[in-house]
Chain A
């Protein structure tokens, strides 16, 4: 297989990953790394580097639209980025000390968690009122546009959410994924922000979190241009196409199928990690 064919296949694979990731809201990174390591036999360090780059591209591209519409809570995002970037730097350092087998196992477990979370029903929160003293000092309470006009909301459990974001950051830096599932979990279930706000604010934060670890990966030589090129362009094109389709189709069946695929990939990653095949 020549580089031309290899790049072409990677582009198609990344396109599918980006499309599915954006349609299901799970992000492209979760299938990208198993695809690269299991199917294309790429070293997991290179795979993480390429995935990290694509994560920055898709999150920045999507965030541009959400920020403009005023749905993302930028102050909340900025504040929580302190936790995620610090975590991401720690995770990226950890990645250089852990063996590839251990990284594969952690990745597999993370995939399992993401798949299970995607089956759980998300509850839409709407807390109003003045909120705690801390949320008022940090000005984290916000509002977002709805069909009926501007809706105000309150955020709670700032400290708990901050700690959870720190964990999400470590995993993002270690595994080269956006950790969108954990970020949404922290905001939905701990901080009780409305559904739309957690999704878009999480997306807004992913780019900065990934940039924090990307610097370290770049310095270590984990980001290979030849590999990253088809992967980044493919994921970006797929995610863009996905965002166009998203408004027109129902995705609940697709989401279930995708979750099963992720479960299988998780088992495969863990199996290979335990047997030191990765």
Chain B
């Protein structure tokens, strides 16, 4: 009985990972096309590290810039979805272990989640 539930969990995790990667690639690609149409003729400047403005890092300014039709923040959104994919995988696992009543692994997976979220 328990074994079957483990396999269910594995199937859902697999589909979640695939979906996250696919969705983020599509968003990044769309943003990339918009970015290249607007800025493709300019010169790249990555030789010196400068950091990124808020609209590339925080959801609210990012969203406003996307609505204005900017490509780079849309790529940024795609990258956020990508980074969120493994984190969502952990959340699903916690729920799965709760359903299996495997509380040791609820705890272990919870620690991993806290370590990640603490630093975002």
Interface residues of A (CB under 8 A from B): 1-4, 6-7, 40-43, 45-46, 53, 56-57, 60-61, 63-65, 67-68, 70, 72, 74-75, 78-79, 81-82, 85-86, 89, 92, 137-139, 207-208, 210-212, 214-216, 218-230, 232-233, 236
Tell me, in angstroms, the Cα distance from A4 to B34 when the chains sit together: 12
Q: Which of A61, A92, A212 has the most B CB atoms < 10 Å from its CB? A: A212
Cβ-defined partner of B36 (8 Å) among A4, A53, A220: A4
Nearest CB in chain A: distance from B82 CB, A = 6
Q: Which of A64, A65, A82, A92 has the most B CB atoms < 10 Å from its CB? A: A64
Could you tell me if B40 and A212 are in contact, using CB atoms closer than 8 angstroms?
Answer: no
Interface residues of B (CB under 8 A from A): 6-7, 9-11, 13-15, 17-18, 20-21, 24-25, 28-29, 31-32, 35-36, 39-44, 46-52, 56-57, 72-73, 75-76, 79-80, 82-87, 89-90, 93, 102, 104-105, 108-109, 111-112, 115-116, 118-120
Could you tell me if A60 and B52 are in contact, using CB atoms closer than 8 angstroms?
Answer: no
With A60-B21, A82-B108, A208-B90: A65-B14 Cβ-Cβ less than 8 Å: yes
Task: Name 6 A/B residue pairs within 8 A (Cβ), A-sorted.
Answer: A60-B17, A60-B82, A60-B85, A64-B18, A65-B14, A228-B28
Residues of A within 8 A of B104 (CB): 137-139
Could you tell me if A211 and B17 are in contact, using CB atoms closer than 8 angstroms?
Answer: no
Residues of B within 8 A of A215 (CB): 83, 116, 119-120
Q: Which of B43, B75, B90, B112 has the most A CB atoms < 10 Å from its CB? A: B112
With A53-B82, A68-B10, A221-B56: A230-B112 Cβ-Cβ less than 8 Å: no
Residues of B within 8 A of A57 (CB): 21, 24-25, 82
Could you tell me if A2 and B43 are in contact, using CB atoms closer than 8 angstroms?
Answer: yes
With A61-B21, A229-B35, A230-B32: A43-B108 Cβ-Cβ less than 8 Å: no
Residues of B within 8 A of A46 (CB): 46, 49
